[in-house]
Each structure stands twice: as structure tokens, then as C-alpha cells.
């Protein structure tokens, strides 16, 4: 990645946005209703079916939701991770070839995922720094959705362009945008990408989406007791994380600050969309 991952570690969501779901269901499942924003209650998602994480680069799943991953795995949910790129632009040493860095970062991601208990990691190997919302990428993500049949998907918030002192990576925005387009209508529509039917992949509709790296969080997940595991996983990204102990301190402090308004020891914030059936 062209930005330092450490720069993202302390980011916390600042304000809310409307959630696209029935009010009764939203209140029951802990989402923010009525403009509560930062005052919304933290929630623990009810354990259900598989989870698919679609992220732009190695380390994004850990920075974005490392503690949540650890929590979901501990609760028995199957978690799959898909990386659109292999992060071969995430280095500043020109003597290291793209192929060498790609190999290193893929190995780091697999080790980090293993720390969190995630067994399946896929790399689509699109060019790092050049991701755009194409029909090809939309089809490839729809393929993942139909293959793994998740109930929940986590991906980047494509609406987060910038904040004070920070510009969101264009790959993040492109992956989030394409993933939402793959979720609806492509993954659930038998007439979208008929070649997927020929591969034996039937249409699949998910229940909810959680957007990470967001400035418009409307739900916070209680990750008390899981932030240490997030830090341990991020320490495996040695090409990106230079001072893992300092990062761990910032992660513990940041998650505690995020959890305090909601009455929990630690929290990770997301913008959540629950689909009407």
C-alpha cells in the first residue's frame, strides 16, 4: 500500500448515517436508529452462517476488523478472506521486485489469518494501485459470494474518500464499490453472469453487509478480549508493521476509546446494511 498501515490504526468512526433496513429489525439487532451515532449501543452479532471478507490489500482485513474476525471465529462462524490484490505496491524499496513483495505479502496474510483462526484465504491478484470497478472484477467477487454462500460480508466503505489528514486509498474505494455491486444484483440474479451458472454456482443472496474504514459507523461490535489477537495478527505483516509493540498499544487504546461510549471494554465500528427479504 502507498500509505503506512500504522496511520490507519487509530482511526475511529465519527458520525452516523441512515441504515437501510426496517426499524424494528435494526433496533433488535443493535444498529443505530434515530441518529444516535456515536451514542449507539454496542452489539454482538448473533452467530449465524459463514462470513466473507473482501478487501483490497493484505493487512486490510486485520486493520479493518481483526478483533471482530477473532470474535466471529471464537463464536463458531466460518470466515473466508478474499484479497483483490497482493499488495505488491506496498513497499518503498525499489530493489525488491513486485514478484518478491507479492510472495512476501501473501505469506504474511496467510500467517495473519491463521493467527485469527481463518483457514481460507484467496488472492485474486489484480494489480495493486490500479483497481477499478470493472465487470470482470464484479463477476469474480460474485463468484466468491456464490461459492462460499456467506450470510454476512465485510468490505471497504466506498463512500469514505477522505478525512482530516488522510485520503482513503483508491483501491479501498474501488473494492468496496465493486463488492456492493457484486452483492446486488449480480450474486443473487441468475441472469447476471450466466457463465457462473455454467460453473455450477447458483445465485446467492446475503443478509447483511458491514463496511469498515468508515466515517459513518452505525453499529459497534463488542470485541472485548479480542484486540490482543488482532495485534498479534498484524505483527505477522512484517513488511508493513515496523513497531508491533507500539501498534499494539495504539490498538488497545483506540478500541477502548471506541468502546467507552457504548459501555464495553473495546469495540470496532462499521456501517451496516441489512437487506429486506
Reported as a single tens digit per residue, the pLDDT across 180-213 is: 999 999 999 999 999 999 999 999 999 999 999 9
CA distance 273 to 19: 6
Task: Indicate the helix (H) or strand (E) that contains 146.
Answer: helix 135-148
Beta partners for residue 53, in sequence order: 81, 154
Q: Roughly how many angstroms between the first and final C-alpha of the chain, as a whole number? A: 38
Are 256 and 85 contacting, i.e. CB atoms less than 8 angstroms apart?
no
Phi, psi of 17 (to 5 degrees): -150, 165
CA distance 127 to 112: 22
CA distance 264 to 247: 21
* pLDDT tens string 227-272: 999 999 999 999 999 999 999 999 999 999 999 999 999 999 999 9
What pLDDT is recorded for position 10? 39
Report in angstroms the alpha-carbon separations of 253 from 221, 230, 249: 16, 13, 6
Write out the three cell numbers for 257. 476509546
CA distance 135 to 140: 9
Specify whether domain 5-274 bears CATH 3.30.499.10. Answer: no
Query: Taking the model in full, what pTM does it have?
Result: 0.85
Q: How confident is the model at residue 163 (pLDDT cuts 50, 70, 90)?
A: confident
Three-class secondary structure of residue 102 per DSSP: helix
In the chain, the largest separation of any two C-alpha atoms, in whole Å, equals: 57
Q: What is the DSSP letter of 66?
A: H
* pLDDT tens string 64-122: 999 999 999 999 999 999 999 999 999 888 889 999 999 999 999 999 999 999 999 99
What pLDDT is recorded for position 164? 82
Amino acid at each position: 500500500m502507498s500509505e503506512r498501515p500504522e496511520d490507519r490504526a487509530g482511526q475511529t468512526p465519527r458520525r452516523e448515517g441512515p441504515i437501510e433496513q426496517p426499524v424494528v429489525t435494526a433496533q433488535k439487532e443493535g444498529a443505530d436508529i434515530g441518529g444516535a451515532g456515536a451514542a449507539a449501543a454496542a452489539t454482538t452479532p448473533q452467530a449465524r452462517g459463514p462470513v466473507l471478507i473482501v478487501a483490497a490489500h493484505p493487512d486490510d482485513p486485520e486493520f479493518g476488523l481483526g478483533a471482530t474476525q477473532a470474535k466471529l471465529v471464537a463464536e463458531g462462524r466460518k470466515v473466508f478472506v478474499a484479497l483483490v490484490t497482493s499488495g505488491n505496491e506496498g513497499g518503498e524499496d525499489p530493489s525488491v521486485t513486485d514478484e518478491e513483495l507479492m510472495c512476501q505479502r501473501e505469506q504474511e496474510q496467510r500467517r495473519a489469518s491463521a493467527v485469527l483462526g481463518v483457514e481460507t484465504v484467496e488472492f485474486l491478484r489484480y494489480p495493486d494501485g490500479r483497481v477499478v470497478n470493472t465487470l470482470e472484477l464484479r463477476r469474480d467477487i460474485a463468484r466468491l459470494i456464490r461459492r462460499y454462500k456467506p450470510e454476512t460480508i465485510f468490505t471497504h466503505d466506498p463512500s469514505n474518500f477522505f478525512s482530516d489528514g488522510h485520503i482513503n486509498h483508491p483501491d479501498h474505494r474501488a473494492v468496496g464499490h465493486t463488492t456492493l455491486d457484486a452483492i446486488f444484483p449480480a450474486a443473487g440474479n441468475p441472469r447476471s453472469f450466466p457463465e457462473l451458472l455454467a460453473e455450477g454456482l447458483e445465485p446467492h443472496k446475503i443478509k447483511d453487509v458491514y463496511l469498515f474504514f468508515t466515517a459513518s459507523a452505525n453499529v459497534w461490535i463488542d470485541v472485548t478480549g479480542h484486540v490482543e489477537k488482532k495485534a498479534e495478527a498484524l505483527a505477522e505483516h512484517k513488511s508493513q508493521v515496523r513497531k508491533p509493540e507500539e501498534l499494539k498499544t495504539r490498538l488497545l487504546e483506540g478500541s477502548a476509546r471506541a468502546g467507552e461510549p457504548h459501555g464495553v471494554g473495546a469495540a470496532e465500528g462499521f456501517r451496516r446494511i441489512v437487506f429486506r427479504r
